[in-house]
Amino acid sequence: METRLYRERFDADEVAKKDRLWKVLCADFFQKFVPEDSTVLDIGAGYCEFINNIKARQKYAVDLNEDARRFARPEVEVFVCSAHRLDFLSDNSIDIAFMSNFLEHLKSKEEVLQVLQEVHRVCKIGGGIPILQPNIRYVYQQYWDFFDHHIPLSDKSLTEALVVTGFEIDKIYPKFLPYTTKSRLPQYDFLVKLYLKIPLAWQVMGKQALVVGKKL
């Protein structure tokens, strides 16, 4: 069902636009959280926009959707499995574990904690966990427009979940990006670059939180 939902939600042109958008987001913002010699895990990788465009020594992608294999670039190793059981990874082996628009698709808060606990296991001491997430405080009217949304989280509740699973909080941006790529985020490269340089614009248009944790 999820595979069909995503195929209905994003056509080929939208997938290409999302990839171009993430190329800018990675180069101009997210790369500062990701050392180029690091091992990176993208959880709920989807169309692999982040993991394809971020620079890293070793790249892993996890998704239940088989389509992730088609979109991943050759340097990305894809595992079609649940984020609750990252058995292909040993303890303390990942430098950065990234999630974007993933946790809201889980069925319960218990599952959210299970995923975070498993990420904690595979992360190295000092390893980072940037999470980009719709912030229910700012999208409560539109949040349920997506059939596969189950868990509403705010920057504050996400912060609590990270803390109770053993992470400390490095950065919190309650408002960062607009809710979806179908929203008002400017799509031209130079406008995206400009948006990223003006945090005041985030306060107007931002509906997604970015919380960056670090393994203690």
Structural domains in the chain plus CATH codes: 2-215 (3.40.50.150)
Q: How many CA atoms lie within 13 A of 150 on its CB side?
A: 11
> pLDDT per residue over 48-90, tens digit each?
999 999 999 999 999 999 999 999 999 999 999 999 999 999 9
CB 131 within 8 A of CB 96: no
Q: What angle do CA 11, 50, 175 make, to 5 degrees?
A: 95
Tokens of 23: 């190329």
Consecutive H or E run containing 139 = helix 136-139
Q: Which residues 6+ apart lie within 8 Å of 194 measured at CB?
A: 186
Q: Which residues 6+ apart lie within 8 Å of 78 measured at CB?
A: 45, 48, 60, 61, 62, 63, 68, 69, 72
Give me the residue label for tokens 């990675």.
26
Q: How confident is the model at residue 17 (pLDDT cuts 50, 70, 90)?
A: confident
Average pLDDT over residues 14-30: 92
pLDDT (0 to 100) of residue 129: 98
Q: pTM of this prediction?
A: 0.91
Q: How confident is the model at residue 99 (pLDDT cuts 50, 70, 90)?
A: very high
> pLDDT per residue over 104-149, tens digit each?
999 999 999 999 999 999 999 999 999 999 999 999 989 998 898 9
pLDDT (0 to 100) of residue 5: 45
